[in-house]
């Protein structure tokens, strides 16, 4: 096709993915990787707590399946750096509890699905994501999960915004979770950019999900103010919270009887 104008950007002579990690001091690495691990552990603990209080998952259910697939696959199945394996294992412990909550509370967010169908699809996402993570990390020789982790971060951050919109309330969510998640993700991105400065895809993915995280914090704040829910109170109930539905119904136990009420479906 000689009639086309010449291309503007030539392909890299050395594929950036083949360029190894930069020589980063242990102190600098700990300064960015430490808050990453801690931020996400705090996020998981707070999400577990909020889900128990509100009867709604603290993290979007299907992304919990993706998270646990990433952590399990890169802890036990595929070769990874020793430090990253240990961090993954710690996260995996918390995600087991989150996944159990997703099985229990997740159907409330999908009233069009029976509880059985929802749980089968959740299991399907878990298996599919495990295969993709394994193949993708191996294909990219992603020995510390940077590429696969940053790619997952984008739909995860977007899913929080969609979850807030779907519920129409702050149920299962809190500013503490939102801020801890933003901090953990931000430092994960800084780790990726510092350790792999020549991997330009990471430099696109990180700002993308950071913007989504900040947008979620802003939208959650507006929602909580509209509800009259204190932004930083631990014990104040969230609007739309309640006990989990009867399997396959999307209704609270007691709905339709004296003292019961039907939950709004959004």
Q: What tens digit of pLDDT does each residue of 148-205 get?
A: 999 999 999 999 999 999 999 999 999 999 999 999 999 999 999 999 999 999 999 9
pLDDT in tens, 92-134: 999 999 999 999 999 999 999 999 999 999 999 999 999 999 9
* pLDDT tier, 253 (very low <50, low <70, confident <90, very high otherwise): very low
Residue pLDDT, tens place only, 1-44: 578 888 899 999 899 999 999 999 999 999 999 999 999 999 99
pLDDT band at 235 (very low <50, low <70, confident <90, very high): confident
Q: Is 245 a member of any domain?
A: no
Would you place residue 261 in the very low, low, confident or very high pLDDT band (cuts 50, 70, 90)? very low
Quick: pLDDT tens for 80-90: 999 899 999 99
Q: Residue 245: which pLDDT band, with cuts at 50, 70 and 90?
A: very low
Report if residue 73 sits inside a domain. yes
Q: Are 228 and 172 in contact (CB under 8 A)?
A: no
Whether residue 108 is contained in a domain is answered as: yes
Q: Would you place residue 237 in the very low, low, confident or very high pLDDT band (cuts 50, 70, 90)?
A: low
Strand, helix or coil for residue 252: strand
Q: Residue 259: how many CB atoms within 10 A of its CB?
A: 6
Closest CA to 111 of 238, 251, 252, 243: 251
pLDDT bucket at 260, cuts 50 / 70 / 90? very low
Percent of residues in the chain assigned helix, strand, coil, to nearest 5 = 65, 0, 35
247 assigned to some structural domain: no
Those residues with Cβ within 8 angstroms of residue 208's Cβ, 6 or more apart along the chain or in another chain? 154
Nearest C-alpha neighbor of 212 from the set 163, 148, 160, 149: 160
- Domain hosting 210: range is 24-227
> Does some domain include residue 257?
no
Over residues 132-144, mean pLDDT:
95
- Residue 265 predicted with pLDDT over 80: no
Contact partners, residue 122, CB within 8 Å, separation at least 6: 61, 62, 65, 102, 103, 106
Buried b (16+ CB within 10 A) or exposed e, 41-60: bbbbbbbbebbebbbbbbbb
Instruction: Kindly provide the b/e burial profile for residues 227-250, where b requires at least 16 CB atoms within 10 angstroms of the residue's own CB.
Output: bebeeeeeeeebbbbbebbeeeeb
pLDDT the model gives residue 250: 43
Q: How many domains does the chain have?
A: 1
Helix (H) or strand (E) holding 63: helix 61-72
Which three-class secondary structure state does DSSP give residue 79? coil
Confidence category of residue 256, pLDDT binned at 50, 70, 90: very low
- Whether 139 is covered by a domain: the verdict is yes
Q: What CA–CA distance (Å, rounded) separates 92 from 105? A: 19
Q: Determine the pLDDT at residue 195.
A: 95
User: Once rounded to an integer, what is the mean pLDDT over residues 131-145?
Assistant: 95
- Average pLDDT on 56-61 reads 97
Is the pLDDT at 252 greater than 70? The verdict is: no
Residue at 262 is within a domain: no
Higher per-residue confidence, 246 vs 94: 94
258 in a structural domain:
no
Among 71, 60, 72, 68, residue whose Cα is nearest residue 102: 60
Burial of 26 (0-12, 13-18, 19+ CB in 10 A): exposed
Residue 243, pLDDT above cutoff 60: no
Give, as one character, the DSSP assignment of residue 245.
Answer: B
pLDDT at 7: 87
């Amino acid at each position: 096709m000689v009639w086309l104008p010449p291309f503007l950007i030539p392909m890299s002579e050395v594929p950036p993915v083949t360029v190894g990690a930069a020589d980063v001091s242990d102190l600098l690495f700990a300064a960015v990787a430490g808050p990453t691990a801690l931020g996400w552990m705090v996020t998981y603990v707070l999400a577990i707590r909020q889900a128990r209080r509100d009867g709604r998952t603290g993290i979007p259910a299907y992304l919990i399946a993706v998270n646990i697939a990433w952590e399990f696959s890169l802890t036990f199945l595929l070769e990874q750096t020793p430090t990253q394996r240990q961090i993954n294992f710690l996260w995996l412990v918390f995600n087991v509890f989150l996944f159990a909550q997703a099985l229990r509370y997740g159907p409330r967010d999908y009233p069009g699905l029976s509880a059985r169908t929802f749980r089968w699809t959740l299991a399907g996402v878990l298996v599919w994501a495990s295969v993709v993570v394994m193949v993708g990390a191996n294909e990219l020789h992603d020995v510390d999960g940077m590429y696969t982790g940053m790619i997952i971060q984008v739909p995860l951050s977007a899913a929080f915004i969609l979850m807030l919109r779907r519920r129409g309330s702050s149920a299962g969510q809190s500013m503490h979770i939102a801020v801890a998640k933003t901090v953990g993700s931000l430092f994960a991105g800084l780790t990726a950019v510092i350790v792999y400065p020549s991997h330009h895809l990471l430099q696109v993915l990180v700002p993308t999900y950071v913007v989504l995280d900040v947008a979620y914090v802003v939208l959650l704040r507006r929602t909580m103010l509209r509800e009259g829910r204190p932004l930083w109170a631990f014990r104040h109930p969230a609007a739309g919270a309640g006990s989990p539905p009867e399997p396959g119904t999307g209704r609270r136990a007691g709905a339709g009887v004296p003292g019961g009420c039907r939950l709004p479906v959004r």
